[in-house]
Amino acid sequence: MSRRSVLTLGAALGLAGVALPRAAWSWSPVGSVLGSGAGTDPQWVWDDEIDRIMATVIDSGQVPAVNGALASWVDNGQPVPAGLPADLAGFLQRSTAMPAWADMAKLRRAADFNRRKDTYLFLIYGLGGGIMSTVIPREAKSVYWSKGGADMQDRAAKTFTFGYDLSDIDAFERTGQFTVTSNKTRLVHAAVRHLLPRSPYWKAVADETIPISNQDILVTFHSTGTFAHKKLKEWKVPMSAADEDAFLHAWQVALHFLGVRDEYIPATWAAAHSQAAQILTPKLAWTPEGQDLAEVLLGLTAQVDLGVTRGFLNEFVRYQLGNDIGDWLGLKRDYVSAATIRTGWPAYIAFREGLLPIAPIGFYMFDQFVRALAMAFLNRGGSGTTTPITIPDINRPGL
């Protein structure tokens, strides 16, 4: 990728201070929720304890039994289920506990904020972060060549519903599900770290020997949470300082539950954007795996026909991510839709936020567009009440 492309992407994604790829990790742990740390590059940090446990579960053939035991474990208030290996049960007893720095008042405010801004977050997570993930080479290759890549529609739905669970009104309450969802996802990550290095197909294209490091998870956060924060600001969506802080706090707790060390979790949005400028934007690039994933994501809405054209969809991706990424993915231009979005989306936001007295032309079209995306991504248009997560025991078969 050229220097000009990196800087153009940085501008399109609204990430300040974009620099060329650096040879060494330089983000200071002083900017983390912990406020201190060793400063070790998170690219070389995984999730050692659960990685060992899940390797044993897989190699001893216990995956079906573990999946069976985990199936009914859904709500945060439920105890860790019986029937799990003792070391796994003990790990989950500890890993589901809230970190000492978690603030339930902030998490409740974040839940209310997510409820109020869910229309915008659907589009940012689904089209913005979702499509951006397809041009994060390590993420695209890991997703594609793992077991979930064999059914990318299902995989995309699960990824989207992870964000939906995080945005739910009771995400961190005993009646919510996100604590369980995030910990199940942590187990899946550990399983993939054990399995994927055995795949000759992944090894042939990967530039790492073990996937899903702490840095990889942080990159995903920046392509969703940090990106969402920048887009909400860019779109002039009204947010109080307390709302912004609470929104970040929900993501901070989510990263902790996913096994990211506290010394890498940004304490402020300024720290988050600084970290993103180092580890996200310079790494974006096209891959054949990412191209296939993008087509699956963009094809999902065609199954829920609410008048959304593919040209309109392509242009909304370009509106969020810029033309560099749109061109990488070969998204055909629709200049009429592009003009409609440029003028209509800001007016749509202004009306929803009470800044315009009369609904603008095209208001219903944008409402239908959001509805189509929500229906398409939430479990293939079905119920979004539970994210079905199972531990894999194989990789994607070779094609």
- pLDDT, one tens digit per residue, over 204-230 is 999 999 999 999 999 999 999 999 999
- The more confident residue out of 381 and 241 is 241
Give alpha helix (H) positions in 175-322.
178-195, 200-205, 214-221, 227-234, 241-257, 269-279, 288-299, 310-321
- The residue among 229, 241, 236 whose CA lies nearest residue 353 is 236
**Percentage of the chain with pLDDT > 70?**
86
- The residue among 196, 255, 183 whose CA lies nearest residue 55 is 196
- The more confident residue out of 256 and 310 is 256
Q: How far is CA 97 from CA 4, 169, 253, in A?
A: 45, 19, 11
Residue 20 pLDDT level (bands cut at 50, 70, 90): very low
User: Is 73:80 a contact under the CB 8 Å cutoff?
Assistant: yes
Averaged pLDDT for residues 169-184: 94
> Does residue 388 surpass a pLDDT of 90?
no
Residues paired with residue 32 on neighbouring β-strands, in sequence order: 266
User: Is 205:289 a contact under the CB 8 Å cutoff?
Assistant: yes
Residue 161 pLDDT level (bands cut at 50, 70, 90): low
* Residues 124, 396, 201: CA angle, nearest 5 degrees: 100
Averaged pLDDT for residues 260-276: 98
For 61-90, the DSSP string reads: T-HHHHHHHHTT--STTSPPPTTS-HHHHH
- The residue among 214, 178, 7 whose CA lies nearest residue 77 is 178
Which 3 state secondary structure label does DSSP give 326? helix
A 10 A CB-CB count for 270 gives 11
Look at the chain and count its residues: 399
Which 3 state secondary structure label does DSSP give 342? helix
Rounded-to-integer distance, Cα 200 and Cα 131, Å:
26
Q: Per residue in 337-386, pLDDT tens?
A: 999 999 999 999 999 999 888 888 888 888 878 777 766 665 544 445 56
Which pLDDT score, from 0 to 100, does residue 27 have? 95
Give alpha helix (H) positions in 267-309.
269-279, 288-299
Q: How far is CA 262 from CA 100, 102, 248, 319, in A?
A: 11, 12, 14, 34
Averaged pLDDT for residues 260-271: 98
> Does residue 4 surpass a pLDDT of 60?
no
Rounded-to-integer distance, Cα 114 and Cα 137, Å:
29
Rounded-to-integer distance, Cα 22 and Cα 223, Å:
19
Give Cα 315 to chain centroid, integer Å: 21
